[in-house]
Amino acid sequence: MDIEGIDVAVMYGTRGRQVLSHDILPPDYAAALARAYNNWTYDYCAHNPMRLKFAGQVAMHDIPSAVTEARRCVTELGAVAIIGTPNPVNGQHLHDEACEPLWAEIERLGVPIGFHPTGESSPRDDAGRRYVGHANFHPIAHAIRNPVELMSAIASMTTGGVLERYPGLRCAFLEGTVGWLYWWLWRLDDQW
């Protein structure tokens, strides 16, 4: 960090998100994995807490457990954000009514929620999954997955009404570039 001139880093763990995006995980197991990952990340950042911060991970398999973990991460472990996958888990979209308690709690906690694609083709509802086994699968799937999954998350949070219901909720849509953003917001508005 010193060499690169970085004063503070926020850890957004890739492997934790990849594991937590699997539909097949039992909800209590997914919640335990999120807790374990967050405990590990807290311990890692404790080596230099002024410079190393982290985003707490939540498992969307059981929203009450996700609410509890988000609260614990922020109030007990000092997380500065919450990280989630833009992919639906078990068919549940970000704008579904079941997710409302999580958005309310994150808004109340005053931290942003960051959405970052998983880099995994194993979730059932993954934009890159259709290219598994094809030549150049990895670059095609990665090029498609990141912006398309984030476009879906933005659609849920805006057109799905989440940000209207929770105007203090701050969101980050990460690692999908933004060249498409103007067009996508126009398209969503046009369809609305």
Q: pLDDT (tens digit, 9 = 90+) per residue, 149-188?
A: 999 999 999 999 999 999 999 999 998 999 999 999 999 9
- Own/partner pairs, 45-48, CB within 8 angstroms, 24+ separation: 45/11
pTM for the whole structure? 0.93
pLDDT of the residue at 47: 96
| Total Cβ atoms within 10 A of residue 178 | 10
Q: Which domains are seen in the chain, by residue range?
A: 9-191 (3.20.20.140)
Stretches in the chain below the pLDDT threshold 50: none
Nearest CA-CA partner of 111 in 157, 72, 165, 160: 72
DSSP conformational letter for 115 = E
Residue 168: both structure tokens together = 């203090």
